Chains A and B, each alone.
Chain A
Amino acid sequence: MTSVTSGSISGRQPQAVRSALAILEEVAAAGVGITAKEISTALRIPPATTYRLLNLLVAEEYLVRLPDLGGFALGRRSANLAPSSVAAPTAARQVMRRLRERVRWGAHLVAFDRHRLTFLDPDPDHPPTDADELSRHPHASGLGRLLLAEHGLPDGPLTRLTPRTVVDRDELAGRLDEVRATGLARQCGEFHATLGCLAVAVRAPDDGRLVAGLALTGPAERVAAPNTELVDLLHTHAGDLAPLLA
């Protein structure tokens, strides 16, 4: 216990804080997989101190240990230190404007940042639901289901937002299989009782990873109809957006 817990760090130890920040910077610069020994050598911090600071940074979730337990990477919490500004390129905005001219529903473009949604180009005439709200309940929205189809069901309980929300895990898994098969996520009155949406994925042309989602929102009962033309329109525009966003 001596080397690990006895040295608690107080505000009177500027060197410890400086070292912790240097370690964060080192991990960010070196990329995923740097080991404690490498950090200690590179920064000339004594090994025992390095291990203690690394454990602290892992406990606070600024760093994570990789599955081999020896390597480190930046944790999601580090993203809070430098929020990335998200904005759609002008060319992508033009694609969205063309789409909005052809449909009467709200057309939104979101970016998928790990398990979070961020609006790149929300429809100004049809303000969408708050992005955080959407990120919290991905099972109930079309855009969220695109994300779940990619990463699997969430671990936590599924909240019932309206009487029509699918909260049964098996049923939801079935819906996600459909999304994977058709490339279309459809939701009618599951997030807001009166609204529904159609969503398709925007994938990188080279490796096919999910980068963004394109959604149309409209009245729930009209979303439930086949809407073949609208779906085709969505797929073509998603295809146009792919090289601009990936």
Chain B
Amino acid sequence: MALDKNAPETRSFKVVGSRPLRPDGIDKVTGRARFGADMSAPGMLIGHILRSPHAHARIRAIDTSKAEALAGVKAVVTRADFAAAPEGMEDVLDNCMAGEKALYDGHAVAAIAATSAAIARQAAKLIEVDYEVLPHVTDVDAAMAPGAPALHDGRSDETVPDGYSANVMSRVEYGHGDIEAGLAKADRVLERSYKTAATHQGYIEPHACLATMGPDGQADLWCCTQGHYMVRNTCAALLGMDQGQLRVTASEIGGGFGGKTTVFIEPVALALARKAGRPVKIVMDRTEVLRATGPTASSSIDVRIGMTKDGRITAADAELRYQGGAYPGSPVGMGSMSAFAPYDLENVRTIGYDVVTNRPKQAAYRAPGAPMAAFAVESAIDELAKGFGLDPLDVRLKNAAREGTRSSYGPTFPAIGLEATLRAAKDHPHWSAPLGPNQGRGVACGFWFNFGGDTCVTLNVTPDGTVTVTEGNPDIGGSRASMSMMAAEELGIPYEKVRTVIADTGALGQNEVTDGSRVTFAVGLATIEAARAAKREMCARVAKIWGIDEEAVIWEDGAAKPAGPNAGDYPPMTLAEIAAIASNTGGPIAGHHEVNAEGAGVSFATHIADTEVDPDTGATRIVRYTVIQDAGKAVHPAYVEGQFQGGAVQGIGWALNEEYIYGADGILQNPGFLDYRIPVASDLPMIDTVILEIPNPGHPYGVRGVGETSIVPPLAAVANSVSAATGVRMTDLPMSPPKVLAAVQGQQEG
């Protein structure tokens, strides 16, 4: 789609930019909303998954006979119940149900469907798995070392040079210019290594689904997912079904943050339902969620940055090593692309290595790959700026990417908002507020690409003049409100006259998952275009009634009006009036739009964090936090603020508390919310937000996605703040109290 066609209109909005109540709100405050685990079916069985107790083991044999003989057990499945996966989907299947090897603690090896959860659990204990325990590796650098236990021999792709460990799956490189020549011009070259732990998306709703399959092969699946079309396509492929025979309905979704952009239990529930001939419900418990669903990658990153004493970056170089669990596909590519994206650099290079380890396969987590890279780069820039006695915001302004900058990953930026966020940060009262004892202030920038992609919207006008928007992307944070607002804006009718519903996979064409901050942009764009199609149709109907040319009818303030030479000849006809007689003018009225949306428009943010570190315990408290981000156009500002705040707090958790802890045995030691501690209300202050609106030229209203950028800066903003508070540069996340205390005491002793 050409950018000029969608150039943002200079217009004043009536609905967009206001803060109406969300349409799913009442259901969600009264307990009526139906999430993944809230559905049941007559004759339903309960599914349960048996998981590997070993980090790495060959599965020599599985004997399910005793489990099958238990009263109440209706089906048991193992990998033998699945046909070979189609090309490209082998890893997805293997992750859902292990084949030759169990590759991590918690890897599914068998599943049972029984008449009760208690019987299913009892049956799991009767399944005998003959394991040959193999050496394992869970650390990224250890996995890259020569002689490391190999998960998959011979799967490294052609990008990996000779001599690397078999666990290195691929290598990527981005950049331009001459690094060494650039470094030679610097007054100081900083070389520093950084590490980040794996963290989990931490959605409060465990994965849940309910599958039904008839003997005719028609199946229905209810599940909590960020993309039910993805679930349909994946499950159909893994079960050897036609996509059209599987109808997937997305439940209300209790958080995802990227972690529900793939399948885990859904193909298993379908296989059990097929074998048992009865509906099967599977609900994970929290331990399963942490052991066997996507955390993000852990990382190990080396950075070299050269800077002149007046703060100009002369060259920037980084090597990023991400382990993404047991299969290829860590987000090191996006980490490598985003690492230096905020800066206008003559000489820049990033090299990334995708590494496998005996951990659960990573799943996308909000701006996948970017927060770790930004942690390393923004920490290094902060250290250089401080070393020269320069203001870290001034240094960033001096190097900031602008419209026309050739980005570190290739494309040239159109109008972008980084500079505006930096200037807003400088002007914000937070930046100049005094600090107390043991407190420090940190600042960092962040970038996210934002996605578009396949999208369908149908907009139906009902006979009484209300409007239903039908879209195919699960609403994870208020997007139904945003779609209704954009439809109301475009049609010139009140927000209350529009209801947006998320359709099942039978109702629309393909829709990409709710990810990449794509929904408000792409589904919004399709909603606006669908509304425009409906308006064109309504104008055509009215032209017929009035007996004038279609071109002589315009749409204004929710009504068709005669224009040009006919202006004023007829009283306007409202949407409701046109709808009431639609049957007599050609039939029902609808608009629809199907598109592979392009022009998403990148997003930048600057965060300011104040922390206070207790020198006796190493505990860090967030004292004040401000998020400044470009939203393009904030459709529903309250939900934009919510995205800013939620992402910032997830990043704060990543910086301070959260980590996957593995024992020497390769077993996850903290698979529960008590020991895997996400931020709680008493950990935090209010999170201040500043919404900037630099219109995205690729969207009719200027909208950019806002969901992901907010998690990119906090790791570095908090680390820079703790470093300022303690006087010790923190390079290893999370900055848990023992680590901070050791750093502070080490400094005192040194």
Report if A and B associate in a common complex.
no
Q: Which residues of B pack against A, CB within 8 Å?
A: none
Q: Which residues of A pack against B, CB within 8 Å?
A: none
